[in-house]
Structure 1
């Protein structure tokens, strides 16, 4: 991977973690500091918000570990407090900040153990693009949906926070 590719993925993962942190802070501002929110879920057979936060963190975390040639190491999926959730976000962002990788990693085959004897073998490129990023968005969107369901007044602008720095405002006279 070139340093530009690494920086692109590092930036993408970091900005989505910043979005998740923003969403959680919005929830606390609206609902208070109740840790009970972490147990909310969309459906009985889905993981609760706390686990969605962990699974969102696990994708960039395992990307950073992969860049360093280390095995995947998922966080504990049981999140008992918002403090732990913020610690996971902070630790994951710190891990991302220090990553390095070599160009050849994109072509190398990576084995992803899925549990119960199941695994995938993917190129490094497919690992990032077809496994980590889709999983990141799945769990981030699920966390967003749980917060919306709980009544947190967030919207698309909150979810797409990474675009706010590029937002421009057309002068009124040019809108006609």
Structure 2
């Protein structure tokens, strides 16, 4: 592995820091849902019970955690690429539908133009919150200080909910295979 000499500037690809990070962890999240479905069947638990579990009464439930993870990936990449984000129906999702939405999210972010994302570091973008308020960022600050941390908060919380409910998971299920 090359060593960077002191004083050298190391650059990071905005595409790899967004799509390259979101896609494998969305895949891992989908795999976590597979394990949740197996656990529910094995324990004779209605999967909806798992989807509605939460760590605290004021936190989002599992279904919402998954929804927020995919939303942050989609919106961040769409803003960086200068495209409209993909939207989903308001139908209440079950595990197969959540997995389908994750797959659509992966396809969406992978289908965005790499060059547009790469060139968005200094571009001004506006993230719109669910309540309609907006916050302006540069592309780089959106990704590194807001969207990636939000994404990992929700993926981690989904993992934690499943662990808390007894689904047999380990750190490797969160991290996925080494890349």
Structure-1-length-normalised TM-score: 0.81
Aligned: 1:109 with 2:124: yes
Alpha-carbon distance between aligned partners in 1 of 2:13 and 2:96, rounded to the nearest angstrom: 33
State the shift of 1:63 in Å: 2.6
Number of residues of Structure 1 aligned to a counterpart in Structure 2:
163
Deviations 1:71-122 (CA, angstroms, capped at 9, x unpaired): 4455467643112101110100110221114344210111222254643211
> Which moves more between the two structures, 24-33 or 151-160?
24-33
Match for residue 150 of structure 2?
A: 135
Deviations 1:138-176 (CA, angstroms, capped at 9, x unpaired): 100110111011100112111111xx336xxxxxxxxxx
Alpha-carbon distance between aligned partners in 2 of 1:40 and 1:77, rounded to the nearest angstrom: 20
Match of 2:98 among 76, 85, 98: 85
- Please tell me whether the aligned partners of residues 64 and 95 of structure 1 are also in contact (alpha carbons under 8 angstroms): no
What value does the CA root-mean-square deviation take over the aligned residues? 2.4
Alpha-carbon distance between aligned partners in 2 of 1:145 and 1:118, rounded to the nearest angstrom: 29
4+ residue runs over 6 A deviation: none
Matches within 5 A, 1:1-176: 4-32=13-41, 34-72=47-85, 75=88, 79-100=92-113, 101-102=115-116, 103-116=118-131, 118-161=133-176, 164-165=177-178
- Give the structure with the larger helix fraction: 1
Alpha-carbon distance between aligned partners in 1 of 2:90 and 2:153, rounded to the nearest angstrom: 16
Query: Unpaired segments of 5 or more residues in structure 2?
Result: 1-10
Structure-2-length-normalised TM-score: 0.80
Partner SS state of residue 36, structure 2: helix
Query: Unpaired segments of 5 or more residues in structure 1?
Result: 167-176
